[in-house]
Amino acid sequence: MKKLLSGNEALALGAYHAGIAVASAYPGTPSTEILEAIAQFDDVYAEWSTNEKVAMELGLGAAYAGVRTLVSMKQVGLNVAADPFMAASTTGINGGLVVVCAGDPEIHSSQNEQDSRHYARLAKVPMLEPSDSQEAYDLMACAFDISEEFDTPVLVYTTTRLSHSKSLVEVNRSRVAPAKQPGFISDIEKYVMLPVYARLRHPLVEERMVKLATYTETFPYNQILWGDRKLGIVTSGVAYQYAREVFPTASFLKLGMTYPLPRNLLHQFAEQVDRLVVIEELDPFLEENIQAMGIKVTGKEFIPRVGELNASIVEEAGRQAGLLDKTSEGQKTDVAQGLPRRPPLLCPGCPHAGIFFVLSTMGQRSKLLDDRGKAQEESKLIITGDIGCYTLATYPPLRALDTTACMGASIGQALGMEKAGVSSKIVAVIGDSTFLHSGITGLVDAVYNQAQITIIILDNGTTAMTGHQDHPGTGISAQGKKTKAVELERLVRGIGVGDVKVVDAFNVKALRTAVRSSVGNPELSVIIVRGTCSVLLRARSGPRVVDAEKCDRCGVCLKIGCPAIQSENGQPCIDAALCAGDACTICEQLCPKKAIGPLSGIASKESK
Amino acid sequence: MKKQDLLMVGVGGQGIILASDILGEVALAAGYDVKKTDTLGMAQRGGSVVSHVRMASQVWSPLIKEGEVDILLVFEKLEAARWSYFLRPGGLAIVNNHAIPPLSVSLGAYRYPSDKEVEDILKRRTGRVYFTAGTSKAGELGDIRTLNMFMLGCVSSFLPVGIDIWKDCISQRLPSKILQINITAFNQGREETSNVNLR
């Protein structure tokens, strides 16, 4: 039976049918839905790990114990997990270990556009790249077989477009029973990487690569699809789909295993076509590895290195490269100019809005910044930021973040600025899930090295940005079971922070008082700003309205950046369908003319 | 099997992803090869949402090429102007005549285009433009969240797929509690466009 599955759903189902017993992940776009899909199966242990490094280490332990294990993460997640990933390559496994890494060409929802395929080469592990959901499903079975046959973790590389597009899958397998019972047999030379034993492992890793290089020559998903031999295209992943659409008559060498590459197959293909090109997203990973085999090939000469590909881009590149008739000009596109942009926003009722309004106005920050977000002088309040919904507070009107680098970086960055000797006050803002992911060690460093910064933990009780996954602070597991919650305030105090405040995210006065007090404290301080993510609010009541007679159009309410507050010819008004009402009331608290209130309140005052 | 490339555009929270999922299931049930993909970016709420649905005897790229969209299904009219360049010349645009001004408009940095401007931008690509008051009609039904099924109803008149397949796929996807109102919205949309001459 054919099913319409996303790449992520197909990867999950493929792994499930391959008999996995354990799956771990930290949420990250575009990989999140893999673990979400696996968590639906009762006969798999699936967890949200604290971060990708822990997820990988857990995967390593489970694989050592003999069971098939899947670890999934986004492209930058593999940076976090790189240390245990390298270790996994060195020790090898016992039960199959497959690592899914989901790249994000175009930076739809990431902080960079790195091509994580390089990790396969760095770690000397085989890499598989599906090009649609069917292959995502099929290759997962191959991945576990390869892992066990060659005693290696296997990297499965996907991208946003593959993970987040649905295509038809013939589901032709059912779940295989685990081949081994869980159990760990001590093997010091294999599992204890003291230098003396690690030295024994390295030659085995090199031998493994030699064997894999032979294996990949006949791997069934490395296929030649003969067409017109004037043009031969080497491609993999979703780039194959674009290439196939633009060059329907060309010959293809479509690679399902992109590391190591099939040397003989590539030579054979190259010799039989007049012109050989590689079409791949981001870096010339295939291209340079093929060139290193002494094969003449081009690709990045005309295929962009930056951004996501699509058929239009490949077509235009093909025209530039003389692969397509120049006269076959594509559709002339006339993009409408000057339309209002619609960037993503903090939601109505967002528990981050109040604290960022306070920070933004206290530092007089928005006044210092020009249209491009550049200031001429140092602001009185420097705000280092982190990864999550709250990064959106960078946009106007809040303009409340100065940095965002990677998960957990806000604390170390704030510390670095302080130690560098800047004269301004420094605040680090970090979400609850991000703090647990990689903020804790930064806080330990801040305590140990006597930092004087203020750290604000934005605790909305969820991992909101990636679609509201639970985390150690919520006390609910990935499979929906009640578990033990990590209490942030006890954790922070336990590390040794003396000045710890917990403040209601929807009380502007309390937020302002807390920030003033903490920033004024010459010692390290932590403020936990607590309020439920508005998307998780079950019921909404009491939408606010603006009393146009009292309103003097000062525009303060518009500076919150709330999507429910709009302006019609300069008159602020609130969209009742969007307003979070009683759960929020930030605008009501801020209005200097007391012109905002619940509909009933304003109506009754009017009637007096 | 004639190919149909549909682009569904609007704003986060309007139910476009669910609608395009259902459309994908409809295409599968009708025997097409199908691919569908969404470009969401960081938009949990409030950002632009674009969903590509491609149905044909064989589909390669999940993304539709610029200038090759057969049907542009628009949930918010500014987004009609923004994505009109994806339409093939002479393609069909069905536009929910409803404005959700972005914050940049409320802050005074930009002006929301007039209806005339939106229409002119669309007319540069095609004469086949149909405006509908979808949001109002969904509101009259008692729940504006039925807009997505109303819009699917509108587009269903232009696709060679039987009504039973549509209703089956909608029933499979929606909880029974809200099914009836959504089927009603679908029927209204379908009825509204069934006699519109946009050939």
pLDDT digits (tens, 9 = 90+) for B29-57: 999 999 999 987 665 567 889 999 999 99
User: A347, B44: Cβ pair inside 8 Å?
Assistant: yes
Q: What is the pLDDT of residue B149?
A: 98
Q: What is the pLDDT of residue A607?
A: 42
CB-CB contact of B73 with B9 (8 Å): yes
Q: Which residues contact A117 (CB under 8 A, 6 or more apart)?
A: A103, A127, A129, A157, A258, A259, A283, A285
| Chain A residue with minimum CA distance to B121 | A336
Residues above pLDDT 70, as percent of chain A: 97
Q: What is the pLDDT of residue A324?
A: 92
Question: B89: which chain A residues are within 8 Å (Cβ-Cβ)?
Answer: 331
User: B88, A345: Cβ pair inside 8 Å?
Assistant: no
Q: What is the pLDDT of residue A377?
A: 83
Cα dihedral: A392, B52, B36, A128 (round 10): -60
Question: B55: which chain A residues are within 8 Å (Cβ-Cβ)?
Answer: none
Question: A563: which chain B residues are within 8 Å (Cβ-Cβ)?
Answer: 45-46, 103
Q: Report the alpha-carbon angle A354-A358-A361, nearest 5.
A: 135
Dihedral sign computed on CA atoms, order A314, A317, A321, A325: positive
Strands A257-259 and A127-128: antiparallel
Domains delineated in chain B: 4-193 (3.40.920.10)
| Chain B residue with minimum CA distance to A559 | B107
Tokens of A122: 């760095």
Q: Which of A104, A110, A164, A166 to mutate to test the interface with B (most CBs of B within 10 A)?
A: A166
Quick check: A317 contacting B, CB < 8 Å? no
Closest Cβ–Cβ partner in B21, B35, B85 for A333 = B85
Establish how many alpha carbons lie within 13 A of residue A376's alpha carbon, considering only the half-sphere containing its beta carbon. Answer: 4
Write the DSSP symbol of residue A12.
Answer: H
User: B61, A245: Cβ pair inside 8 Å?
Assistant: yes
Q: Is the peptide bond before A397 cis (omega within 30 degrees of 0)?
A: yes
> Global pTM?
0.96
Q: Is the pLDDT of residue A328 over 80?
A: no
Fold of A544-607: Alpha-Beta Plaits (3.30.70)
Question: A389: which chain B residues are within 8 Å (Cβ-Cβ)?
Answer: 44
Q: What is the largest CA-CA distance in chain A?
A: 91
Are both A223-320 and A544-607 of the same fold? Answer: no
User: How far, in Å, CA of A76 to CA of A606, rounded?
Assistant: 56
CA distance B163 to chain A (A): 20
User: How far, in Å, CA of A538 to CA of A535, rounded?
Assistant: 8
Q: What is the pLDDT of residue A329?
A: 58
Q: What is the mean pLDDT of chain B?
A: 94
Q: Among A70, A130, A75, A117, which residue's Cα sits nearest to residue A98?
A: A70
Quick check: A567 contacting B, CB < 8 Å? yes
User: A167, B11: Cβ pair inside 8 Å?
Assistant: no
Q: What is the mean pLDDT of chain A?
A: 95
CA distance B80 to chain A (A): 10
Q: Is the pLDDT of residue B91 over 90?
A: yes
> Could you write out the DSSP letters of every residue in A581-598?
BTTT-HHHHH-TT--EEE
Q: What's the CATH code, domain A353-536?
A: 3.40.50.970
Tokens of A340: 């209002």
Q: What is the pLDDT of residue A549?
A: 96
Low-confidence winner among A50-59, A474-483, A596-605, B129-138 (lowest mean pLDDT): A596-605
Quick check: A342 contacting B, CB < 8 Å? yes
ipTM surpassing 0.90, yes or no? Answer: yes
Report the CATH superfamily, name and number, of domain A2-218.
Thiamin diphosphate (ThDP)-binding fold, Pyr/PP domains (3.40.50.970)
Q: What is the pLDDT of residue A327?
A: 62
Return left, alpha or beta for A246; rule: phi > 0 is left, psi -120 to 50 is alpha, else beta: alpha
Q: CATH assignment of A223-320, given 3.40.120.10, 3.20.20.70, 1.10.3720.10, 3.40.50.920?
A: 3.40.50.920
Q: What is the pLDDT of residue A235?
A: 98
User: How far, in Å, CA of B16 to CA of A578, rounded?
Assistant: 17
Domain boundaries, chain A: 2-218, 223-320, 353-536, 544-607
